[in-house]
Amino acid sequence: MSAFFGIHIASSALRAHQQALDVINNNVANANTPGYRRQQVLYQNGVAFPTPSLNGGWGAGQFGGGVQVMAIKRFGTDFLDARYRTELAQSGKYDVQRNILNQVESLLNEAGDEGLVGKIDSFFNGWQALSADPANTALRGDLRGRAEDLVAAFNSRAQHLRATRGEQDLALQQRVDEVNDMATQMARLNGEIATVVGRDQQPNDLLDQRDRLADRLAELTGATISNQPDGTVMASINGHALLVGTSAFKLQTVVDPANDNLLAVQWQTPTPMAYNGTTGEIAGIIDARDRIVKGQLDGLNTLAQTLITQVNTQHNAGYRLDSAVLGGNFFEPAVDPSGQNALSIQLNANIIADVGNIAAASNPNAPGDGNNAVLMANLQRALTMSGGTATFSNAYAAQVGSLALETRNAETRFGDRQAVAAALDQQREAVGGVSLDEEAANLMQTQKAYEAAARVLNAVDEMLDRLINNTGLVGR
């Protein structure tokens, strides 16, 4: 056994603890990095030194050969990741929905005094007031003003709802781009990770990076990730592969003429097919846009169309002020071929030109006759909507109620899923997060071991010094 063996042991200890110190340093440095998983060196005793001998008996053996770092362990959380991502996909879906619906809700502004129900009531109440004093020009003007308010309320609501649907194009496009970009990055990381794993090293930081992408991917699309033996991951959205090995299968957006020329999401390859995700932000946007907001818009259009038809019919049954001319249409257009009545509804030009053209009378040349106005006011309570079961106001109030319920559902589900996701993330963090106190303790421990190794080296050095410089000087 060499006299320098001690130096070898001490230096292995210095080197191992130096490495450990660097790993701790890296942990501390990444204490605030999202998705960073703490790392730790795994020490292993060095190769033992057997005492050479022909037949043994030379003495004790074997001598430990110092320490070495076997691996740098990463505190991964694969077992929690899948569950966390499922919850994240749901909370992502309801998060975008609640944002869109909150916006719609404040645009529709039905909780205040300026709601559409109030405008409809005000319109019919205008007829009611006119019926008691049908020749009163001021009341006629007031009725026209109320009708203009109603028309404007329809128009602005329809515009807001359409704009809200249109704005989702940008949101979808951004997310599809993000998904494609992340799939590409993950494919590249798959390649690098497989190489590093092949060299029997630990691609810890690459894994962190890929996990971060996988989290966001799940939030966007609800993609499920499965680990492969070679270190790569596979990602699929509701059964359709998104990422296999180093190849990514991308999404694209196309204009859908069947849906108001809004963007539809598709798989690019092998042949374009409809996007099939049911959770995640993209599915949430599509659901909110094509089911909930569209439902509101359709309901508004139906309301406008029914109102136009009913009011026009009644108006054309009456006579203008002190005239034998029938009322004609009150609202225009009587029928909108595109079905966007709420957007296109306007007052008839005759009404705009002269309030005398409002037909309040049921008899010709009868300025004092307000019977047609009475019949018109009665429409307020007529069961004209929902297949003859609801009044205009009630039908719209029910529609507002259903939007409120959808919004509330989205809020509640987001809250629930978010809470579960947060709890799971906390568990992940408990396993893999950095605790500065713990690192401080480890730092102390490592530092002390390093100092001790240095001290041992000192002792060996002194021994050698004694041997080399101060031995065999007898008689000098």
Partner 1 sequence: MRITTQMTYQHAIDRMQASASQMEKYRRQATSGKKIENPSDDPHVAVRSIQLRSAVATHQAYVDSGKVSQERLGVNDSALADLVSTLNRSIQVALQGRGDTLGASERQGLADEINGLLEHAVGIGNTTFRGAYIFSGFAINTEPYSFNGAAVTSHVASTAGPINNLIEPGHSLQVNVDGNAVVRPTLDALLGLRDALNADDGTAIGSSLAQLQSALEGVNAARTTNGARTRELTTTLDRMDKISLSLKSLLSSTEDVDMAEAIMNLQHAETVNQAVLQTAAKSVSQSLFDFLR
> What residue ranges bind partner 1 (CB under 8 A)?
31-32, 101-102, 105-106, 110-111, 113, 115, 117-118, 121-122, 124-125, 128-129, 131-133, 135-136, 322, 361, 363, 365-371, 374, 377-378, 380-381, 393-394, 397-398, 400-401, 403-405, 407-408, 411, 422, 426-427, 429-431, 433-437, 440-441, 444
Sign of the dihedral through C-alpha 225, 228, 233, 236 = negative
In terms of CB distance, is 167 or 411 closer to partner 1?
411
Q: How far apart are the first and last CA of the chain?
A: 31
The separation between CA 255 and the C-alpha centre of its own chain, rounded to angstroms, equals: 22
Minimum Å gap between C-beta 363 and partner 1 is 6
In terms of CB distance, is 175 or 428 closer to partner 1?
428
Asked whether 95 and 225 are in contact (CB, 8 A), the reply is no
Q: Which residues contact 178 (CB under 8 A, 6 or more apart)?
A: 216, 220
Both structure tokens of 417: 């899923």
Sign of the dihedral through C-alpha 129, 133, 136, 140 = positive
Asked whether 345 and 302 are in contact (CB, 8 A), the reply is no
| Beta pairing partners, 262 | 256
In terms of CB distance, is 64 or 401 closer to partner 1?
401
In terms of CB distance, is 243 or 361 closer to partner 1?
361
Give the other-Cβ count within 10 Å of 220's Cβ: 26
CA-based nearest residue to 251, from 288, 212, 211, 283? 283
What span, in angstroms and rounded, lies between the C-alpha atoms of 263 and 391?
A: 36
Minimum Å gap between C-beta 430 and partner 1 is 5
- Which amino acid, one-letter code, is at 80? L
Q: Which helix (H) or strand (E) holds 39?
A: strand 39-45
Minimum Å gap between C-beta 422 and partner 1 is 8
In terms of CB distance, is 122 or 252 closer to partner 1?
122
Minimum Å gap between C-beta 454 and partner 1 is 18
What is the DSSP pairing of strand 240-244 with strand 233-237?
A: antiparallel
Instruction: Tell me the C-alpha to C-alpha distance, in Å, between residue 263 and each of 132, 223, 243, 416, 437.
Output: 53, 21, 24, 30, 51
Minimum Å gap between C-beta 371 and partner 1 is 6
In terms of CB distance, is 32 or 271 closer to partner 1?
32
In terms of CB distance, is 136 or 253 closer to partner 1?
136
Minimum Å gap between C-beta 176 and partner 1 is 29
Minimum Å gap between C-beta 103 and partner 1 is 10
Both structure tokens of 160: 């807001």
In terms of CB distance, is 14 or 434 closer to partner 1?
434
Minimum Å gap between C-beta 31 and partner 1 is 5
In terms of CB distance, is 130 or 283 closer to partner 1?
130
Minimum Å gap between C-beta 134 and partner 1 is 8
Asked whether 253 and 265 are in contact (CB, 8 A), the reply is yes
In terms of CB distance, is 12 or 296 closer to partner 1?
296
What span, in angstroms and rounded, lies between the C-alpha atoms of 185 and 208?
A: 13
Minimum Å gap between C-beta 225 and partner 1 is 23
What span, in angstroms and rounded, lies between the C-alpha atoms of 476 and 473?
A: 6
Instruction: Give counts: helices (H), strands (E), the chain.
Output: 12, 11
